[in-house]
Amino acid sequence: MNDCMTTTLEKIRQQIGVGKVDDAKRALQTFGETEENQCDLLVVRGYLAELDRDMETAFSAYEQALKLDPAHPEATFRSARLADLCGDDNLAMVRYEQCTRLPEVPIHALINLAVLYEDRGKLREAEACLKNVLAQYPDHFRARHFLKSVKCSYTMVYDERTQREREKHSAVMDVPIADFELSVRSRNCLRTMNIRTVGDLLRVTETELLSYKNFGETSLAEIKAMLTQRGLRLGQALQAVEPPAPSPSTLRFAGAGDGASYLHKPVSELELSVRARKCLQMLAVTSLGELATRTEGELLSMKNFGQTSLVEIKRQLALYGLKFRE
């Protein structure tokens, strides 16, 4: 690229930087046809197209630049960012990963790549990206708080797995005793004792069963064998009683109190899904007070954020007597 062209492009960038977009467009028109395929020129054309909301033209310009120079830093990052905004997560991830191999890695490429990694459950990769940012900028606000959320996600993944196991266990507990092949004597005894489901059976002990009239060792052995085949045992539920859930009155008290006392509570302490957490991270919301200053529309405008996540966050706010800004 000749010096004259370099000077003109620099001037165009300065004009864009101070908001003189029309002047920048006119200056860009001075370049001849032979200069159309210069990488830096294509990147500037792409950026001006972005400002005009012409994302297709912008993306095409960046891709053309990358064909000429696959390691062009700005073209790589802006192509990744556009793919990300347009919902092409696969291409965005490829381009962001290319950014990480550049001599100078864009900080925002690392953060955006961490978001994509977390969304796919690649928590260690997301954590590595954010630690890379903090190694260069220890006080980087967004990276620091996002890293906390990623670390919380390790527990969340475990909790989701645990929840699935609980749901599976609950389904077994509701299975009627009538579905199992038991002798008539055993069935009649259990019916007399008002034991209707597997869950009922796991809440009684051998001693309690044997104390009932007409219930003997043969029936006991038969029932124990049936449970053993399914990895269960008598009295099991009595040894794994969970603490009671908060009562409605407790929740009303928490929500009806002075919401101001919870304004500084970190949103990382809320029970939210990964998707809802990511939305709050993108908005740089770190406390309940900041969350309460947002509107429903702001959240719904975020990529991949829907009504399910909105209801989830509104429920959490309500527990502390807070709500979104009207």
pTM of the model: 0.48
What does the pLDDT look like over 246-285, one tens digit per residue?
A: 333 333 333 334 556 678 888 877 877 767 777 787 777 8
Structure-block tokens of residue 45: 């054309």
Q: Which residue has the tokens 């909105």?
A: 310
Contact 80, 111 (CB under 8 A): no
Q: Classify residue 110 as exposed, middle or buried by CB count within 10 Å of its CB (0-12, 13-18, 19+).
A: buried
Digit-by-digit pLDDT tens for the chain (326 residues) are: 556 667 777 888 888 778 888 888 888 777 754 444 488 888 888 888 888 888 888 899 899 899 988 989 999 999 998 888 777 888 989 999 999 998 888 888 998 898 888 878 888 899 999 999 999 888 888 788 788 877 776 655 444 554 555 555 556 677 788 777 888 888 888 887 878 888 788 888 888 888 777 788 888 888 888 888 777 888 877 654 443 333 333 333 333 345 566 788 888 778 777 677 777 877 778 888 888 888 887 787 776 677 777 878 888 888 888 888 87
Question: Which of 217, 220, 251, 252 has its CA nearest to residue 234?
Answer: 220
Domains detected in the chain:
3-152 (1.25.40.10), 174-239 (1.10.150.20), 248-319 (1.10.150.20)
Distances from the Cα of 57 to the Cα of 23, 47, 136, 177, 289, angstroms: 20, 10, 34, 66, 40
Q: Which residue has the tokens 């003109």?
A: 8
Which stretches does DSSP call E strand in 77-235?
none
Q: What percent of the chain has pLDDT over 70?
A: 80
